Amino acid sequence: MTLQKSIYLKAAKSDVWAYLTDPDKLALWFHKPSKALAEGDNYEMFGTESGNKLMWGKVLTSTPHDHLSYTFTIGPMGDAVSTVTWTLDEVPGGTRLSLRHEGLPEGEAGFDLTLALDKGWDDHLARMRESLHAP
């Protein structure tokens, strides 16, 4: 199963990129890794309030300001590994940010997880937009 989303942000690609890779910026809208996301590195992300490890994986590709891809695992997925890919495109007035989350578990139980992730991404992306657009 695959989730796909796109949002438009009134921000330069370099600013959006920072929100995808910099620990302090990630903490504003998502979860906080212990270090910046860099190609070839393993990562773990922690809850900004709980401090609990929430997700982990490996950064597969990192082309600054254009493309970021990493494996994605969370506790409810067990040993299953999915892939998150971000694509940044310059548009007049800002950036279109596209998300592709693929390799999610199939079947009814998998669908329930996909629904939860779908809502989660909506919530996270709304927080990113709010933070980037703040005066």
For residue 7, give both structure tokens. 């949002």
On whether the CB atoms of residues 125 and 2 are closer than 8 A, the answer is: no
Can you give the residue range of the structural domain that contains 60? Answer: 2-132
Position 125 pLDDT exceeds 80: yes
Q: Which residue is listed with tokens 């695992």?
A: 73
* Domain count along the chain: 1
Helix axes 13-21, 107-132, angle to 10 degrees: 130
**Mean pLDDT estimate for the chain:** 94
pLDDT of residue 101: 97
Q: Return the CATH number at 72.
A: 3.30.530.20
What does pTM read for this prediction? 0.93
Choice between 79 and 86, residue whose per-residue pLDDT is larger: 86
For residue 56, give both structure tokens. 């982990």
Range in 59-63, 71-75, 119-123 with the lowest mean pLDDT: 71-75
pLDDT of residue 83: 97
Q: What percent of the chain has pLDDT over 90?
A: 78
